[in-house]
Amino acid sequence: MSLRNPPDTAPRFGVEEEFIVVDAITRAPVPRAAEIVRAASPVLGGRVAGEITPLQVETRTAPCTSFTELVAQLTEARKVISESANAAGLRVVASGSATVAGPVPPPITTGPRQSRGTATFRGLHDELAICALHVHVEMPDRDWAVRVGNHLRPYLPVLSTLTANSPFWDNRDSGYASWRTMTWSRWPVAGPPPRFDSAAHYDQTVESLLATGALVDRGTIFWDVRPSESNPTLEVRVADIAVTAEESALYAAVVRALVTQLSTAVWQGRPAVDVPAELMRVAYWRAARDGLDGDGLDLFTGRLRPAADLVGELVATIEPVLRGQDAYPQVTAGLDRLLADGTGARRQRAVAGRGGLPAVVDWLAEHTSG
């Protein structure tokens, strides 16, 4: 694998956002996503869709070239689905988990594939009412995506702290900033991926997993970094859905800049850091528990450090790339606000302390729509 020229310094990127559909009165999740999709489709077209449960709506951006373009698309999609929901007596909320408990098990969208999933994963489907934020960054080819993914692994826990936004589960405080992360880790093929030598090695591993029955199909590869199955991109899937469009864009800009910098490392032939599995697991756990408000595990040194310092150091490292992508002022301003106001998890808890869980849902709906 080789590129004659250095990799693109400003690859196109895009975002998928998942939202929970709730009743405006009870604030509990309700299986009415299809109504929102139908109402929003005339404006958004293929940029809005359903999800594995009818409790969720997904929006997607087209490939973007700039931070400004990404913010505009995210803002438009949130506005359209929020207005569509409001017209039906519903709300959409950007939270990694349902604040007010919904049906358990949640209803599953009907179809042969979904039936195979229920038969395969069984009780794991009981906790599918969770929402993530996925970032796609364009890659030259799948080999390149796999190798960049190897380099990205030590940064995944730090990235997850930026959008930690799922503190509540089953009508109670989980004690975690990102309970979605803990829920997702129970799946057989989820969390941080192993290292791969090449796209062929990746495909061989996936085929072995399919043979064991751990996957329904390649669409159920839930690793937090993977070469996309449908786009020429590296897909980064580690984050909770962020409260606001601006926070999603901040996170996506950091991911694109980091992937761009790591693409240069691959081009220069630098080896990826080999993180021990036990340290990776602990780093994920600490990031999910405390978000930006505690200590994180620095996977390059093996030492605990303030999570905010790890994020600040990451942004400082990719500053030249962010400047080249015309995103540095927006990212630093957004990060300053995030450090001052707290992640979605901290802000959800603050609202709950003043008005209870129904007030949190109302607050989330307001900030989701912008």
| pLDDT, tens digit only, all 370 positions of the chain | 556 677 889 999 999 999 999 999 999 999 999 999 999 999 999 999 999 999 999 999 999 999 999 999 999 999 999 999 999 999 999 999 999 999 888 998 888 888 898 899 899 888 888 999 999 999 999 999 999 999 999 999 999 999 999 999 999 999 999 999 999 999 999 999 999 999 999 999 999 999 999 999 998 999 999 999 999 999 999 999 999 999 999 999 999 999 999 999 999 999 999 999 999 999 999 999 999 999 999 999 999 999 999 999 999 999 999 999 999 999 999 999 999 999 999 999 999 999 999 999 999 999 999 8
- What single-letter amino acid sits at 39? A
How far is the C-alpha of 247 from the C-alpha of 165, rounded, in Å? Answer: 11
Q: Which CATH class is domain 13-369?
A: alpha beta
How far is the C-alpha of 146 from the C-alpha of 154, rounded, in Å? Answer: 14
CB 96 within 8 A of CB 166: yes
Q: How far is CA 166 from CA 96, 140, 180, 241, 344, in A?
A: 5, 34, 6, 9, 8
Identify the pLDDT of residue 370. 85
What predicted TM-score, i.e. pTM, was given to this entire model?
0.97
Q: Checking phi first, is residue 14 left (phi over 0); if not, alpha (psi -120 to 50) or beta?
A: beta
Identify the pLDDT of residue 127. 86
CA 304, 306, 307, 309 torsion-angle sign: negative
DSSP string, 218-229: GGG-EESEEE-S
